[in-house]
A and B are shown apart, each in its own frame.
Chain A
Amino acid sequence: MKPAAFEYAAPKSVAEALALKTRYGEDAKYLAGGQSLIPAMNFRVMQPTALIDLNGLSELAFINGDGDELRIGALTRYSAVEHSPLVAERLPLAVEVVKHIAHPQIRNRGTLGGSLAHADPAAEMPVLLTTLSGRVRAESARGSRWIAAADFMLGPFTTILEPDEMLVEIALPTLPPGVGAAFQEVSRRHGDYALLGAAATLSLGTDGTIAAARLVFLNAGDTPKVAGLATTQLIGQTPSAELFATAAQAVDGDIEPMGTLHASPDYQHHLARVLARRVLARAAERAQAQPVA
């Protein structure tokens, strides 16, 4: 299990990295945390001709609280998000989600940008981005553009990024008072890729009824699956266990799980119904705990 030979470059700026990508061409890869790319290279599933190592780009490792969103650099490691007081205060959902990703040793290397660019349907970061309707910014020698979460992932391991584009920044909207959020997943062992997972946000009006709800599934299809059928019936209702149990029955029409080695599509459907009920209930509790002023 040894990677095939490749050329290696460690640029010191984004501009230099982009120029190197243009020079090396399509068979070159950016190397971020390496926690997906290097295993694939060790197996020789991937044999890039060149690696452009982004780890020297300290300009891409930052977490800023900008108005009603967090701006996070693409090279920010999971562990930086997990231990950031700013994220804990402004977007606790992100901390809750990141703790489910792999193990501490992998979170010390793996990056948010790498996970999003990798676009694994079983990964947590794409689900977080989708749940919050966040955006990502890509740069190339041709310029810079923002891409909405809904447009970013096209399929398993496929994004809308052009070969010469680099992910540089992620914008995650924070949740105002009155909005509760929750994430849960089921995996065989803590830190393993999940068999299925679910994230929910839920906002309550001043009268305590549900004003908006969003429910997104992990590993329930090609890309993060937004459960529109299940959530439309929540609007205007008062949160209750019965309401969420009924809504959870509707998720079957929202998802298309493909089955994994350890879970049949039937079992994944079952998990989706159970997790939908749980995350909606928890999001509602959290929304009630900090009502709109």
Chain B
Amino acid sequence: MQITATINGKPVISEVEPRLLLSDWLRHDLGLAGTHVGCEHGVCGACTVLFDGAPVRSCLVFAVQADGHTIETVESLGTPDHLHPLQQSFWEAHGLQCGFCTPGILMTLKPFLEQNPDPTEDEIRHALSGNLCRCTGYQNIVKAVQLAAKGPSDTRVLD
């Protein structure tokens, strides 16, 4: 089936089989391998992308369902030279170790911080409840979010 979607701001036309998962389309057909795949049944959150602005599991959506919709992946955030404030904060607060869970966490947090610019720690932990991290530990991830909310140059959060 032919589909047309807006991926990271650009229109993309593609021929897909109905059974192709959105996560696999992004990774294998479009080369956007920043979206990670952990469990493929909705539990880990590594594959989280924005679907019309809202975070969803890309392993629980078929690529055909993206037809006519807007998808944003972690590649839409920053570049190595110009990190997004969230990426900068994760760097500064050591919010990642292996980085496997990070793309899903960043795509969950982007709309969260836009809607809650000054979240409490509880709200941050709740927002992250659908994203598993198996190596960093959540302390530094929470700190990174607090840092991003304050603006990454405000390093008082880290003291």
Contact = CB atoms under 8 A, between A and B. Distances in A.
A105 B126 contact: no
A4 interface: yes
B62 A8 contact: yes
Contact of A190 (B57, B62, B64, B126): B126
Contacts of A146: none
A6 B18 CA distance: 7
Given A34-B61, A191-B129, A108 B56 contact: yes
Contacts of B56: 105, 108-109
A109 B61 contact: yes
Contact of B61 (A38, A79, A189, A191): A38
A39 B19 contact: no
A42 B40 CA distance: 7
A113 to B, nearest CB: 17
B42 A35 contact: yes
Contact of A3 (B19, B48, B67): B19
Contacts of B126: 190
A147 to B, nearest CB: 28
Contacts of B129: 103-104, 189-191
A261 to B, nearest CB: 14
A105 B18 contact: no
A34 B67 CA distance: 16
A177 B57 CA distance: 40
B18 A103 contact: no
Contacts of B19: 2-6
Given A5-B17, A7-B18, A51-B18, A191 B64 contact: no
Contacts of A7: 18
Contacts of B57: 35, 105-106, 109
Interface residues of B, number: 29
A80 B62 CA distance: 22
A55 B41 contact: no
A293 interface: no
A191 B108 CA distance: 15
A53 interface: yes
A43 interface: yes
B18 A34 contact: no
Chain A contact patch, size range: 20 to 34
Contacts of B130: 102-106, 191
B59 to A, nearest CB: 7
A193 to B, nearest CB: 11
Interface in B29-54: 40-42, 45, 48, 51, 54
Contacts of B62: 8, 34, 38, 51
B55 A2 contact: no
A109 B130 CA distance: 14
Nearest to A189: B129
Contacts of A104: 55, 108, 112, 127, 129-130
B60 interface: yes
A194 B51 CA distance: 28
Contacts of B40: 1, 39, 42
A109 B41 contact: no
B139 interface: no
Given A8-B1, A108-B54, A34 B60 contact: yes
B148 interface: no
Nearest to B24: A2
23 contacts: A4-B19, A5-B19, A6-B19, A8-B1, A8-B18, A34-B60, A35-B57, A38-B42, A39-B60, A42-B40, A42-B59, A53-B64, A55-B65, A105-B45, A105-B56, A105-B57, A106-B42, A106-B130, A108-B54, A109-B51, A109-B56, A109-B60, A190-B126
Given A4-B19, A38-B61, 11 more contacts: A5-B19, A6-B18, A6-B19, A10-B64, A39-B41, A53-B65, A102-B130, A103-B130, A104-B129, A105-B55, A109-B57
Enumerate the 7 nearest inter-chain pairs by beta-carbon distance, A residue then B residue, closest first. A103-B130, A8-B18, A39-B41, A1-B40, A108-B54, A38-B60, A3-B19
